[in-house]
Amino acid sequence: MSGGVIEGNTLYNNGTPGSGAGILVVGSDNRIEGNNCIGADFGIKVDGAGNIILRNTCSGNTTNWSLVANNVYRNQPGDFVVLEVDTDRVTAPVRFEAPVPPPPAGHPLAGHLFPHIYGPIDRDAIVAIKPVTRAPDGAFVF
């Protein structure tokens, strides 16, 4: 779909393990706004350019965390936490972007967009702080 509006949906445990997107957008120039994605593998997965993603709530979607943690931070020692952030309460700009530099085709991070907050995270936007379990080899377990 291109040029459409995906708005006001509540999605819970969509898809099958390893492939279930709460919302999967294939196309360009869509507006994805005000959706609630819970417990899917991906909250929102976008496979197109020029889409606008605003004021969505995605929680309990573990694939994006696991992809980043195990491909970027696995070799970093120490304890980690995941901040659950209500982006409606963040006053700094929030953008969903591809990794920089772009990973090669076939890499686990290829084709995914990740939330980036450009500025401080407002304290009242943090709704939960969750410790992360790590395996003996350093892998993050969610």
Tens-place pLDDT, residues 48-73: 667 777 767 666 555 556 666 776 77
What is the pLDDT at residue 124? 92
Asked whether residue 138 is assigned to any structural domain, the reply reads no
CB half-sphere exposure, 50, CA atoms < 13 A: 9
What is the pLDDT at residue 27? 79
Asked whether residue 128 is assigned to any structural domain, the reply reads no
Q: What is the pLDDT confidence band of residue 14, given thresholds at 50, 70 and 90?
A: low
Asked whether residue 50 is assigned to any structural domain, the reply reads yes
Q: Which residues form the domain of 20?
A: 5-74+90-119
pLDDT at 106 over 80: no
Higher pLDDT, 45 or 66: 45
pLDDT at 137 over 80: yes
What is the pLDDT at residue 61? 59
Asked whether residue 20 is assigned to any structural domain, the reply reads yes
Higher pLDDT, 88 or 65: 88
- Number of domains, the chain: 1
pLDDT at 3 over 70: yes
- The structure tokens listed for 79 are 């304890």
Asked whether residue 30 is assigned to any structural domain, the reply reads yes
Asked whether residue 53 is assigned to any structural domain, the reply reads yes
Q: What is the pLDDT confidence band of residue 16, given thresholds at 50, 70 and 90?
A: low
Asked whether residue 12 is assigned to any structural domain, the reply reads yes
Provide the b/e sequence for 73-86 (b: ≥16 CB within 10 Å). Answer: eeeeeeeeeeeebe
Q: What is the pLDDT confidence band of residue 34, given thresholds at 50, 70 and 90?
A: confident
Task: Look up residue 24 and give its DSSP letter.
Answer: E
Average pLDDT taken over every residue of the chain:
76
